[in-house]
Structure 1
Amino acid sequence: MTALTERVLRGLRRFNDAHPWDHNAHYHPWILRQLPRRAGVALDAGCGTGDLARLLAGRVGRVEGVDADPGIVARARALTPAGAPVAFRVGDVLAGAPRDRYDVVTCVAVLHHLPFADALTAFRRCLAPGGTLVVVGLFRPRTPTDHLLGAAAVPLNAAVGWLRNGGRPAPRPVSMSARTRPADMDFGDIVREARRILPGARLRRRLFWRYTLVWRRP
């Protein structure tokens, strides 16, 4: 890497730190488009501050959000209007979910923190027949395609941050209070393992260092 490239990357990092935006929330509208028009009960696994869970409440009769961090769950409860059909609890997303319970399961930027196969197996078990699983995850870049998408995302990331913040420096969103740790599985391994556990799952690489997975239980 040349000295010029290093200076450019440092400059982009400083710019992005000054103009942050939530890459996960960017995919929330896409997630909603994958769901049936109405559903009974949804689980948002690793709900964080509850942004997605509150959006799901407009499409689902009842939403349960679960996260392992008590402070984050307390923040999610505080941000949720009284009377909203959303309940948050502290817990392990892989433990205690009853079989065949949920019509929708969502999981955003959490799966790489968990044992991958165990997590998908747990989601499959708790999803009701005909239910929908939607995942937005992170993967480790390995192939030329991965690195090309990553390179394309760098200037777009800066542009989106600039536009969303009106060209002004801004604090990090509450939903980004903790930095996400890097993923250790590459996309090829994710696809192979996911389709072994969830036959027919649809996976795609996405911009902003994400991939998506959609599976409907028969």
Structure 2
Amino acid sequence: MTPPHHRVLRALDRFHAARPWDHNARFHPWILRQLPTRVGSALDVGCGSGDLARLLAGRAGRVHGIDADPAITARARELTPTTAPVTYTVADAPAGLPDRSHDVITCVATLHHLPLTEALEAFRDRLAPGGTLVVVGLHRARTPVDHLLGLASVPLNIVMALLRNRGRRAPRPVSLSAPTRPADLTFAEIAREARTVLPGARLRRRLFWRYTLVWRRR
């Protein structure tokens, strides 16, 4: 017999498929609040269809998005005005990251696809002095706190889906992104490694099955 919580998760998946909304985009305003009003350059790792990269263009003189999916990257170019200071590259992170420094590096729902230590080291090495790294990531639930936040996210997820799709006959489109897979590492494992590579990094568990990381390079 299927455990009750598995049935609940399957029902939630069906509900969300009928009323989709972008969980990652919910964090975009929060990401912008972590950044200075104006910076020289920004790098968005795992840029998808470029929603965050286009927002960063309002803060940065130039923005570069990188994603491993050619189709999604092509869509990002289509959606980005030619006058915007945004460019995109198809490449795998961290090996394919541009070899220059940036004032801001962002990485949303991508880090769990990458080798953690290598990726964090690459972000650190490409962040200019005084620059800011902001990560919104996924982790494997393990502790009671993790599971409580997950349970609290279920009704909030339903409310957000209803609000975002209110009055729409067709489902509201969500940003294109690469297929995701479950995170392997727990929050504690991620935090331990992050604080080793990025001394002083601030990490916090969040609702909607996410965590955040902010690090400023001195």
TM-score, normalised relative to structure 2 = 0.93
Per the alignment, do residues 97 and 165 of structure 1 end up closer, same or farther by CA in structure 2, a change over 3 Å counting?
A: same
Between the aligned partners of 1:43 and 1:114, the Cα distance in structure 2 is: 16
Structure 1 unpaired stretches of 5+: none
Structure 1 counterpart SS, 2:53: helix
Per the alignment, do residues 19 and 118 of structure 1 end up closer, same or farther by CA in structure 2, a change over 3 Å counting?
A: same
Matched, 1:63 2:26: no
Between the aligned partners of 2:211 and 2:87, the Cα distance in structure 1 is: 27
Between the aligned partners of 1:3 and 1:168, the Cα distance in structure 2 is: 34
Deviations 1:33-57 (A, max 9, x none): 0001110000001111000000000
Equivalenced residues, count: 217
Per the alignment, do residues 68 and 3 of structure 1 end up closer, same or farther by CA in structure 2, a change over 3 Å counting?
A: closer
Q: Shift in Å at residue 178 of structure 1? A: 4.4
Deviations 1:23-42 (A, max 9, x none): 00000000000001110000
Between the aligned partners of 2:6 and 2:170, the Cα distance in structure 1 is: 24
Aligned to 1:98: 99
| One-letter amino acid of the counterpart of residue 180, structure 1 | T
Aligned to 2:118: 118
Aligned to 2:17: 17
Per the alignment, do residues 196 and 159 of structure 1 end up closer, same or farther by CA in structure 2, a change over 3 Å counting?
A: same
Per the alignment, do residues 177 and 111 of structure 1 end up closer, same or farther by CA in structure 2, a change over 3 Å counting?
A: closer
Per the alignment, do residues 10 and 169 of structure 1 end up closer, same or farther by CA in structure 2, a change over 3 Å counting?
A: farther
Aligned to 2:86: 86
Between the aligned partners of 2:15 and 2:85, the Cα distance in structure 1 is: 39
Per the alignment, do residues 194 and 138 of structure 1 end up closer, same or farther by CA in structure 2, a change over 3 Å counting?
A: same
Matched, 1:141 2:158: no
Between the aligned partners of 1:172 and 1:132, the Cα distance in structure 2 is: 32
Between the aligned partners of 1:3 and 1:69, the Cα distance in structure 2 is: 36
Does the 8 A contact of 2:102 with 2:131 survive in 1?
A: yes
Structure 2 unpaired stretches of 5+: none
Between the aligned partners of 1:157 and 1:104, the Cα distance in structure 2 is: 30
Between the aligned partners of 1:92 and 1:10, the Cα distance in structure 2 is: 32
Between the aligned partners of 1:146 and 1:169, the Cα distance in structure 2 is: 35
Does the 8 A contact of 1:68 with 1:92 survive in 2?
A: yes
Aligned to 1:164: 164
Q: Shift in Å at residue 92 of structure 1? A: 2.2
Does the 8 A contact of 1:18 with 1:169 survive in 2?
A: no
Deviations 1:115-152 (A, max 9, x none): 00000000000000100000000000000000000000
Structure 2 counterpart SS, 1:54: helix
TM-score, normalised relative to structure 1 = 0.93
1:194-209 equivalences under 5 Å are: 194-209=194-209
Deviations 1:98-127 (A, max 9, x none): 25x100000000000000000000000000
Does the 8 A contact of 2:42 with 2:64 survive in 1?
A: yes
How high is the sequence identity, in percent, across the aligned residues?
A: 70
Q: RMSD value over aligned CA atoms? A: 1.8
| One-letter amino acid of the counterpart of residue 22, structure 2 | D
Between the aligned partners of 1:167 and 1:90, the Cα distance in structure 2 is: 37
| One-letter amino acid of the counterpart of residue 98, structure 1 | D
Between the aligned partners of 1:12 and 1:20, the Cα distance in structure 2 is: 11
Per the alignment, do residues 120 and 137 of structure 1 end up closer, same or farther by CA in structure 2, a change over 3 Å counting?
A: same
Between the aligned partners of 1:176 and 1:153, the Cα distance in structure 2 is: 22
